[in-house]
Structure formats: structure tokens, C-alpha cells
């Protein structure tokens, strides 16, 4: 090795840049490769832009597989018959097999005759739409297939733009891959908007022809197929010629496609449209206030719209079974209305229901949009157009006009009034009572509300006075004061002073003195029963004071009447409550003091038939069996906690029967069956009440102005409210056995003197309601005792057997004949005469 040769050698390894990169550089020199690369890049960029603008937020077409149409909620009565529905749109959902083939073909002819052959997109139609948008100001013609319309209606908005059309086409392609043709058509025919607030073919058939889609004739099917083109146009009378022309075109397309014969086409073309002007009510008008209470409870539980949950009131398609008895509901409505009219009779016209502007002559549209109507006999709501002589020209929401005879001088144009037919085009004024009221009918064993009326007409005022109006109950609260007294040592025969009673309430409230209804200082000592029957305020206040007003307030609270402070004025009904709460409290008395919660809904089913409320609902297997199967009958345990001693509750009911027999509700006595109840009149008087009923039915009713004011000095519960209950009860009790109120274990029925309350031996209660002797209910060991003199005890102890034998031995009379031994009643009568009468 040479000395000049370096001793340290370093090496640097590098990778060659050849291979793929060199080959790309070689290809890049070629023109065709560069253009291909530009094209691929452009496509990738276009896809990214398409994803960012269109595909990123595009709805999932797979969702349509589980799609459920927004359907109305149907409400049924206790017999299962529908009587109301909650809907903002007319919708009825059908299966594909329910649509007649000719009906399907009519829509295919009008909208998409190649539906069963294309893949969701009509490319020729799309090109035509683009051309129209570029070279014409009008909307494109026939660009969307039925699949695209389903995509637009269910997954997209109604915005008209190129972006929406592209999204529509993409979704249509995806829908065709996700659903069958039959599923797509079913969605379309159930969802398409067809005017008159009808969505879907079945709802449109009802709206335009008043019958179901399965009953339509060929020319009617063809007309419905014209509606997707202009749903708010062809159904109007002024566009009848255009509608007929469009219908005939559809019939021609059906014949061209071989779906109908020429003869069928010509026969259908010769038919008139045959549209009904307005669809009649779907259900019998009944229970408007009841249905509104059901709607309110459903809304609180499930929400109002689909955004609030799948079981919402207006789109969940619920089936609701209620406790409404249609027979009782009609009776309740009639009785309350008649009572309101009786009170208002002779008071004259109080003014219009409402008023609309009349300056520009658009009275019909304004009147129709006000939605003011009435459902009573043949009455109708009308608007005054102008004065004419002694009457006035009036108009109706339909556009009809008539003449009002004898119009009041205060009537002016724009006033909305109630009228009734008077022959020809003449109408007479009707007065809607200004006074309001509410009535509730309840089953006292279950708490189910059987009927409810919250005013004169639900279409005039949705304010439900049966559940929403807070009113002073007056004397109807007194039974619960006496119930507290019974729980604190008193009995129905306890003597209470009916006399002046004053109490120092506080430094702020000062001294308070009470008085009876109508004034007066009282009538002295009487039994508790008499005080309740005659509704004596002074005795009630004294009983409340002796029992402790805090205890009385606790009773009010436990019976769910109201949560009041412990002031004596509340013992006379000064606190506010509702007629539903008072009716329920009386029902709890009949139910032996066991808690009841008033219910209007029995159960709620989803659109698929599953019971979703109550959550723990179970069917009663065997309850409706035709014949007995030999097994034990279903038994239900009583629900609710015990909120009042059952004997106390019965004692109060027993005393309240006396209110009907001898007290303030004697107007009900001739119903000739066991009835209990209590009248009430609040200070003013501003409200009049009656609450009561029979063992199987309890009702409550009140009358009063919405803004409380004096009803007149003659207004009392016994003269105004009780007759309303009587009118209802006369019909409701037809065919029912007159059953007595059942007494719980522990009740002792004892004969007492009605006036003094002392126990009676040897005499019996009679059918005379004012007889001296009555049965009275006592708790064990609280009934009055009979006092016996010491000398009588000694005499009886000497020779009881000889006395008994002597009593049985016939006595010889002065003429030598024998007389029969005195009976037990005769001996008792002799004893009573000897001791100075009954005590």
C-alpha cells in the first residue's frame, strides 16, 4: 500500500430517486397523462364539494322504512265509540292493498306513468326542467317522479332551487334501493297534500266526496289525481272548468296506457265533478268540554307535536278510551243549559258575543276565520251587516244572508249574535246566557268522571268551568266540618247551640261575629243533624271551633278540596275550589272515606295497539267471559288510601240524606230513592251549588258569573242548582234499582227522637220524612243510653219470671171475657206514656 493512500475512508449511502417517481416524471411528459390527472383531480374536488354542499347533511333514506305518518288522536267513549279527534290535518293511513288498482293507475297517469320501470329519476324530465328554468320564468313541467315527490315531501323542504332538485334526485335513487315500489306508492298516497287540509287519498276522498276511497267511482278517482298539480285550486267552485279539463286529461292518459277502455273514459268524462261544499262533522257533537279536558291531560303527559315525543296529541295516532258515558253526557249538557237559560230568562239581550270590523266589506272571511259557532238546537251564529227598518240584514260564515226580525236597538254592524230560523229567510234573535256554570258526574266507587259540562257551549268558550273555575263552595263544604267534629268526639245527636258566636281572630283581623243565612241570632240548642239539614252557619262555626279549625283545615286538605289557613270563615266555604274537586270529595264520602282521584282517561293505546298509559295497565282476563268457567271471579282490591274514618264518612252521608228529606234540598225528595246531597250559596250571593247523588252516581253543579257578581237575593242552591241535578237525575236513574247507601263495619243504627236526639224504644221510623223517630248512625259505644229508675230495676229483680208469665196470661175483663196479652209495642207505649213521652 502506498503512503499517499488515505487511511480513513467514509461512505455515504443514498437511495436512488428512480423507480415510481422517475416513471411518473416520464409519464408526466406525456400530454394524455397530464389531462387524465387533471380530470381525476377535478372529479375528486367535485366529489368533495358535492359532499360538503349536498351529501353531508342529506337525510337517510333508510329512515323511510320505519317512517310513521303524523296521525290524529281519536278519542272514544266508555262504549268504545269515537266522539272526538285531535288533528290539525286530515289524515287517514291505509295499507297498499287497501287502494283500488284504478285509483293507483289514475295517479300514475297524472304524475308518473313509467313509475314501475324507472329507477327513481326521470332524466328527460329533469333536462326539461333545467331548460324551462333557463329559458322561461315559469316553473318546470313534470320533472319529478313519484319517488322524487316522496323524497321532497318526507325528507326535504318545499324550497324550489337547483340544490333541492339535486338532493331530491340523489334521495330518489337511494329510496328506490331501500324500499319496494309498493312501499313507495303507499307512502305517496298516504302523504300527498290534496287541499282542504287533507293529506293522503283517503282523507281527500272524505273531504271532497264525503265517503271513503274504496267507494269512489272512476271519474272521482281521476279528479283526486289532478290535485297534486294544484291542490288549492281545482277544489274551488270558480275553477270548475279547469278541474274538469284536467280530470278529463287524466282519463285520456289512463285510456292511452290501456288501463281503461274508451267507453269507460267517455262515460267518466260525461260525469260532473260532484264535489261536496263542506265536509260534515266526523263525529256526533258531544262532550266538547270533556274532550278538551282529555286533550289537556294528554298534552301534559305526551306533548303536543312530534318534536315532543312519538305519542304526541296531534301526530301520535293515539287511541284514547275515556270514561265518558254518552247518555249521561247528553243529559248533563241539556240539564245545565236549561238551568242557565231558566236563570237568564226575562233578562233580555245583554250584547253581542263578539264584533268584527266591517269597513272594507270583507266580513265573510273575517267571520269565518273567527271560528265562532254554536251547537245548540237549530241556533246559528250570524254577523249583523246593516240595519233595515225594525230589523237587520245578517250574514253567515258560508256567505248566506238573511233578515233578522225585531233587532234590538243597540245592535250595530259587525256584531256577532245567535239567531234561530223564523221561516223563509227570516231569523229571530236568541240570547246566550251571560251567567256561567259547570257540572260533573262521577262514579263514587272508582273516581271515573262519567260526564262533564263546563259552560253553555264549548264552541263559544273553551274555558272549562267544571275544572278551571275557582269558586267559593258555600255551604257544600259544611259536611266536612261536621265530619271533623264526628272524629273529635261528637255524634249526630250532639247538641250544638244555634246562637250568636264571636271570636277574636288576631290583632290585625280583630273580632269576628258570624250569622246565619238571612240574618237572625239563632234558634237555640239543636242536634248536629238538624244543623246540617238546615245549613245553620252558627252551628257549623261552633262545631269547627270546638273541633279545632286546624283539624277542619286538615280534613279539607285530605279530601283534596283545598289547602286553606285555619280561619273559621273557611268552615263556611270562603275558600276557592272547583266543582270537580267538590264532587270528588262527596264521592269519597260514599266510598267510605277511601281516597279517589277523578279520572277522565281509562287507557291510551299507541297506533299499533299497545297500551302506553297507565304504565302498569293489565287486561282483566275473564272479565267479559260469556259464561262462567267455574273458576273464581276476578276481584279488584280497593285502591287509594283511607283519608277519613269509614264510619264517619257513612255518618255524614246518612245525615245528608236528611238534607233531601227535610232540609234545604227537599225539591229532590220526589225522586223517590235514597239520595244524599247538600246545597250551597256563597256570600252575595255570587255562586249557587248542589253536590250529591246516589250510591252509584254523584254529581256536582254550580252557577255563577265568570267575573263574580251578585246573582240576586232570590238565588239559592236549592232553587237554582238543585233543579239542574233533578232534571239530570230523573233521566239518569230510569231503569235503575233504588239501592240504599251501604254501611261499613262498625256502624250502629239506633232509633232516636229526631228533635232531641235521645234514644227511642218501642217506636219505629215511618215513611213520613218529618216523623218523630228516625234511624241514626253511631260509632260503637257512642249511641245514647236509656236511663232506668232504681225502683224499676228492683221490681224487675224481685220476680222477673212471674211478671213475664203474667204478661203472657190473658186478662179477664169486667164482663167476664178474656183479653189478649199486650204486645211488646203496647207495653213499650204504656211505659213511654208513664214516663212522659219519647226521649
Residues involved in catalysis: 111, 475
- DSSP classification of residue 681: E
Question: How distant is the alpha carbon of residue 245 from its chain centre?
Answer: 46
Rounded CA separation 656/650 (Å):
10
State the Cα torsion 536-537-542-544 to the nearest 10°. Answer: 110
Rounded CA separation 535/517 (Å):
8
CA angle in degrees (0–180, nearest 5) for 264-268-273:
165
63 burial (CB, 10 Å; 0-12 / 13-18 / 19+) is: exposed
Q: Decide: 531 and 492 in contact? Cβ < 8 Å.
A: no
Task: Give the CA radius of gyration of the chain.
Answer: 41
Distances (CA, A) of 317 to 71, 91, 305: 4, 10, 11
Q: Decide: 474 and 483 in contact? Cβ < 8 Å.
A: no
Distances (CA, A) of 675 to 53, 441, 448, 450, 698: 76, 15, 20, 18, 10
- DSSP secondary structure string for all residues of 685-721: S-EEEEEEEETTEEEEEEEE-SS-----TT--IIIII
According to DSSP, the β-strands at 611-613 and 354-355 are unpaired
Question: How distant is the alpha carbon of residue 141 from its chain centre?
Answer: 48
Three-state SS for 471? strand
**Residue 186: which H helix or E strand, with range?**
helix 181-191
Q: Decide: 226 and 253 in contact? Cβ < 8 Å.
A: no
Nearest to 153 by CA among 218, 244, 234, 89: 89
Kindly state the greatest CA–CA separation across the chain.
Answer: 189
According to DSSP, the β-strands at 415-421 and 401-405 are unpaired
Three-state SS for 759? strand
Amino acid at each position: 500500500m502506498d503512503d499517499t493512500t488515505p487511511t480513513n475512508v467514509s461512505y455515504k449511502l443514498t437511495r436512488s430517486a428512480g423507480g415510481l417517481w422517475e416513471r411518473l416524471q416520464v409519464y408526466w411528459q406525456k400530454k394524455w397523462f397530464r389531462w387524465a390527472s387533471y380530470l381525476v383531480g377535478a372529479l375528486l374536488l367535485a366529489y368533495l364539494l358535492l359532499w360538503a354542499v349536498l351529501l353531508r347533511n342529506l337525510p337517510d333514506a333508510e329512515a323511510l322504512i320505519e317512517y310513521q305518518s303524523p296521525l290524529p288522536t281519536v278519542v272514544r267513549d266508555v262504549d268504545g265509540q269515537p266522539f272526538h279527534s285531535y288533528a290539525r290535518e286530515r289524515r287517514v293511513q291505509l295499507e297498499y292493498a287497501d287502494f283500488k288498482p284504478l285509483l293507483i293507475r289514475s295517479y300514475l297517469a297524472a304524475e308518473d306513468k313509467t313509475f314501475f320501470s324507472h329507477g327513481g329519476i326521470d332524466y328527460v324530465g329533469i333536462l326539461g326542467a333545467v331548460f324551462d328554468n333557463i329559458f322561461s320564468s315559469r316553473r318546470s313541467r313534470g320533472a319529478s317522479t313519484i319517488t322524487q315527490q316522496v323524497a321532497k315531501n318526507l325528507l326535504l323542504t318545499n324550497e324550489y332551487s337547483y340544490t333541492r332538485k339535486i338532493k331530491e334526485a340523489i334521495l330518489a335513487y337511494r329510496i328506490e334501493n331501500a324500499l319496494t315500489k309498493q312501499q313507495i306508492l303507499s307512502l305517496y298516497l298516504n302523504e300527498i297534500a290534496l287541499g282542504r287540509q287533507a293529506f293522503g287519498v283517503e282523507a281527500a276522498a272524505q273531504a271532497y266526496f264525503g265517503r271513503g276511497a274504496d267507494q269512489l267511482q272512476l271519474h272521482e278517482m281521476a279528479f283526486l289525481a289532478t290535485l297534486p298539480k294544484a291542490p288549492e285550486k281545482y277544489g274551488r267552485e270558480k275553477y270548475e272548468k279547469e278541474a274538469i279539463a284536467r280530470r278529463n286529461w287524466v282519463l285520456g292518459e289512463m285510456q292511452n296506457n290501456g288501463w281503461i277502455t274508451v267507453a269507460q273514459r267517455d262515460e267518466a268524462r260525461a260525469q260532473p265533478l260532484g264535489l261536496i261544499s263542506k265536509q260534515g262533522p266526523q263525529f256526533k257533537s258531544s262532550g266538547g268540554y270533556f274532550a278538551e279536558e282529555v286533550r289537556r291531560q294528554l298534552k301534559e303527559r305526551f306533548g303536543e307535536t312530534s318534536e315532543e315525543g312519538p305519542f304526541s296529541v296531534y301526530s301520535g295516532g293515539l287511541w284514547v278510551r275515556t270514561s265518558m258515558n254518552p247518555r249521561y253526557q247528553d243529559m248533563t249538557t241539556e240539564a245545565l243549559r236549561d238551568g242557565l237559560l231558566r236563570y237568564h230568562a226575562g233578562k233580555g239581550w245583554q250584547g253581542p258575543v263578539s264584533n268584527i270590523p266591517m269597513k272594507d266589506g270583507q266580513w265573510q272571511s273575517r267571520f269565518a276565520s273567527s271560528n265562532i259557532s254554536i251547537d245548540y238546537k237549530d241556533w246559528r251564529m250570524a254577523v249583523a251587516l246593516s240595519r233595515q227598518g225594525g230589523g237587520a240584514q245578517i250574514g253567515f260564515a258560508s256567505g248566506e244572508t238573511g233578515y233578522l226580525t225585531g233587532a234590538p236597538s243597540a245592535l250595530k254592524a259587525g256584531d256577532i249574535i245567535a239567531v234561530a230560523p223564523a221561516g223563509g229567510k227570516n231569523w229571530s234573535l236568541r240570547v246566550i246566557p251571560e251567567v256561567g256554570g259547570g257540572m260533573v258526574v262521577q262514579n263514587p266507587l272508582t273516581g271515573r268522571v262519567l260526564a262533564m259540562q263546563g259552560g253553555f257551549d264549548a264552541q263559544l268558550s273553551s274555558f272549562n268551568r267544571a275544572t278551571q273555575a275557582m269558586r267559593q263552595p258555600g255551604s257544600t263544604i259544611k259536611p266536612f266540618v261536621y265530619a271533623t267534629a264526628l272524629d273529635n268526639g261528637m255524634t249526630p245527636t250532639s247538641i250544638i247551640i244555634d246562637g250568636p258566636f264571636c271570636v277574636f281572630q288576631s290583632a290585625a283581623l280583630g273580632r269576628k261575629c258570624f250569622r246565619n243565612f238571612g240574618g237572625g241570632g239563632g234558634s237555640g240548642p239543636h242536634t248536629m243533624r238538624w244543623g246540617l239539614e238546615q245549613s245553620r252557619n252558627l252551628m257549623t262555626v261552633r262545631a269547627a271551633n270546638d273541633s279545632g279549625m286546624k283539624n277542619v283545615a286538615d280534613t279539607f286538605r285530605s279530601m283534596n278540596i283545598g289547602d286553606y289557613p285555619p280561619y273559621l270563615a273557611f268552615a263556611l266555604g270562603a275558600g276557592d275550589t272547583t266543582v270537580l274537586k267538590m264532587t270528588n270529595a262527596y264521592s269519597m264520602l260514599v266510598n267510605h272515606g277511601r281516597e279517589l282521584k277523578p279520572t277522565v282517561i281509562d287507557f291510551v293505546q299507541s297506533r299499533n295497539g299497545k297500551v302506553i298509559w297507565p304504565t302498569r295497565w293489565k287486561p282483566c282476563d275473564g272479565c267479559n267471559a260469556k259464561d262462567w268457567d267455574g273458576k273464581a271471579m276476578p276481584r279488584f282490591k280497593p285502591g287509594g288510601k283511607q283519608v277519613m274514618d269509614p264510619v264517619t264518612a257513612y255518618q255524614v252521608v246518612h245525615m245528608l240524606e236528611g238534607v233531601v228529606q227535610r232540609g234545604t234540598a227537599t225539591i229532590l225528595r220526589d225522586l223517590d230513592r235514597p239520595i244524599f246531597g247538600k246545597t250551597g250559596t256563597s256570600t252575595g250571593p255570587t255562586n249557587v251549588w248542589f253536590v250529591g247523588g246516589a250510591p252509584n252516581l254523584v254529581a256536582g253543579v254550580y252557577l255563577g258569573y265568570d267575573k263574580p257578581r251578585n246573582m240576586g237575593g232570590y238565588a239559592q242552591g236549592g232553587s237554582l242548582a238543585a233543579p239542574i241535578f233533578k232534571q239530570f237525575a230523573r233521566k239518569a236513574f230510569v231503569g235503575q234499582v233504588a239501592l240504599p247507601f251501604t254501611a261499613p263495619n262498625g256502624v250502629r243504627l239506633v232509633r232516636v227522637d229526631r228533635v232531641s236526639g235521645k234514644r227511642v224504644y218501642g217506636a219505629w221510623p215511618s215513611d213520613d220524612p218529618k216523623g218523630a223517630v228516625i234511624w241514626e248512625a253511631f260509632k260503637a259505644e257512642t249511641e245514647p243510653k236509656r236511663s232506668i229508675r232504681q225502683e224499676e230495676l228492683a221490681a224487675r229483680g224481685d220476680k222477673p219470671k212471674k211478671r213475664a208469665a203474667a204478661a203472657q196470661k190473658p186478662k179477664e175483663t169486667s164482663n167476664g171475657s178474656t183479653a189478649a196479652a199486650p204486645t211488646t209495642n203496647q207495653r213499650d207505649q204504656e211505659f213511654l206514656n208513664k214516663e212522659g213521652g219519647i226521649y
